[in-house]
Amino acid sequence: MSVRSARFDASLPGRGRTGNRGRAPSGAAPPRPALVKAALAVVGAGLGVTMALAVTAETASQLSAPGGRATFGGNITGLIGTYLALVMVLLVSRIPFVEQVLGQDGLLRWHRRLAPWPISLLIAHALLLTIGYAQASRSGAWHEVGVVITQYPDMLMATVALGLMCLAGTISIRAVRRRLRRETWWLVHLYMYLALALSFAHVIVLGPSFVGHPLTQLAWSAAWLATAGLVLCYRFGLPIVRSLRHRLRVVEVRSEGPGVTSVIVGGRRLDRLAVSGGQFFLWRFLTRDMWWQAHPYSISALPRPPYLRLTVKAVGDHSAALARLRPGTAIAIEGPYGAFTRHAQRRPRALLVAAGIGVTALRSLLEDLPPRSAPVVILRGSRERDLVLRAEVTELVRSHRGTLHELVGDRERASVNERTISYLVPDLADRDVFVCGPEGFVASVVSAARNLGVPSESIHHEAFAL
């Protein structure tokens, strides 16, 4: 193992920022956690109102009638399941003020955690109502399934919707998802929107909380329309507007080392693109082979209008194809996204740790940190040539009057663990920890930081796999 450390203390004159060609004036807006808390309270209240809709539609006599309890169970599970499905859609609608606090990876984590609930509740809804109706009509459950699907209005569509939800749920199970191509998983996931649209009508037409209650119908429809509007606005509208406004094109493709490529992108009005160091975009390169897929890559430097830069390691088909991009290729973007920014910092100073290509997000974050952060930067690589953007990071650490440690060697010997951190960073108690790199590396550094007493709100990391 080799450890190379360089300290650039306050007595050294600060040098200019690396490659500074005129800094973009605006970073991303600071996150507003109070607004997210308020939104959370609204979501909680909405859940309460949804439950009340089901409960107030029941009477004691209905409950005690044959099949009454199962029918009530079916109604309440259906309403709550549908409401939670809407919340799931909201979680991936990329509403900016929520995304700035939770980050894309945080939102996806919540989306995944919530997912089993609406699907289970909606399956329970179908089963319980079938049982309840069968008991009420004193017929068999299988016979009742046929009756419900063929004779009740909009039930065929709702049954198809449930099938699609079950399919999307099944392919999202980790073991199944691993065997699928990302694009297949994504396409089937899009059917969830279709499933929600198909299931909408039967709730309004058949739901005991809605039939004969036009105001409730109106409020429920408004909630659905608002959700659809937010998705259309932030997932589709805003990216299209941004892409048209900035008209990004590939200017240059540059090799940064074995398998690592920087793409320099030029565009209009980039001074108005509010992006902070550490954030990423979903990049859609409009070539014949790549236009249909958008992949997340961090910016590896703050924008220098009229230029942006991303740096990518070839680990898959898409990232490998970037090296073959031709100047002039048009680009559509979604973003910027990510809460891995200077706004997340809670303590006066910062420790930045990166391995492999994780250095790209760290490099733009480092550039964006206030000078008082006196950053300690730890870069880890198996070989010297794995230390991507090494010269730029060194220069930025120098300009921030920080300290740089390079750990080179195999994973066992050049490990960033509790011992290494406490030895290299004696003032850890004053620092926030930002980690970026492969999943296993991030997990081990986060665990080490926690064990050394850094509170969770001062540990920031961005997962590679989105």
Partner 1 sequence: MTRGGQVSASMLFLSGLRGFVYSTASFGWHGGAP
Residues that bind partner 1 (CB under 8 A): 33, 36-37, 40-49, 51-53, 55-59, 62, 101-103, 106, 109-110, 207-213, 339, 344, 456-457, 459-460
Nearer to partner 1, 19 or 106 (CB): 106
Nearer to partner 1, 113 or 324 (CB): 113
Shortest distance, position 51 Cβ to partner 1, whole Å: 5
- Alpha-carbon distance of 421 to 462, in angstroms, equals 19
Nearer to partner 1, 107 or 270 (CB): 107
Shortest distance, position 172 Cβ to partner 1, whole Å: 19
Nearer to partner 1, 133 or 285 (CB): 133
Shortest distance, position 33 Cβ to partner 1, whole Å: 7
Nearer to partner 1, 58 or 154 (CB): 58
Question: How deeply is 160 buried, as exposed, middle or buried, from its count of CB atoms within 10 A (0-12, 13-18, 19+)?
Answer: middle
Asked if 404 and 379 touch (Cβ cutoff 8 Å), the reply is yes
Shortest distance, position 455 Cβ to partner 1, whole Å: 9
Number of helices followed by number of strands (H, E) in the chain: 16, 12
Nearer to partner 1, 54 or 397 (CB): 54
Nearer to partner 1, 390 or 460 (CB): 460
Shortest distance, position 365 Cβ to partner 1, whole Å: 15
Asked if 450 and 444 touch (Cβ cutoff 8 Å), the reply is no
Shortest distance, position 55 Cβ to partner 1, whole Å: 6
Name 323's Cβ contacts closer than 8 Å, sequence gap at least 6.
253, 255, 261, 314
Which tokens hold the place of 211? 């039939």
- The alpha carbon of 56 is separated from its chain's Cα centroid by a whole number of angstroms, namely 37
- Alpha-carbon distance of 284 to 290, in angstroms, equals 7
Asked if 390 and 366 touch (Cβ cutoff 8 Å), the reply is no
Which residue type occupies 235?
R
E strands of 220-276, at which residues?
A: 248-257, 260-266
Shortest distance, position 352 Cβ to partner 1, whole Å: 17
Residue with tokens 């956690």: 33
Phi/psi class of residue 319: alpha, beta or left (left: φ > 0; alpha: ψ in -120 to 50)? alpha
Shortest distance, position 420 Cβ to partner 1, whole Å: 23
Nearer to partner 1, 107 or 369 (CB): 107
Q: What are the CA-CA distances from residue 384 to residues 1, 258, 259, 268, 409 (Å)?
A: 11, 12, 14, 37, 8
Which residue type occupies 356?
G
Which tokens hold the place of 82? 């549908």
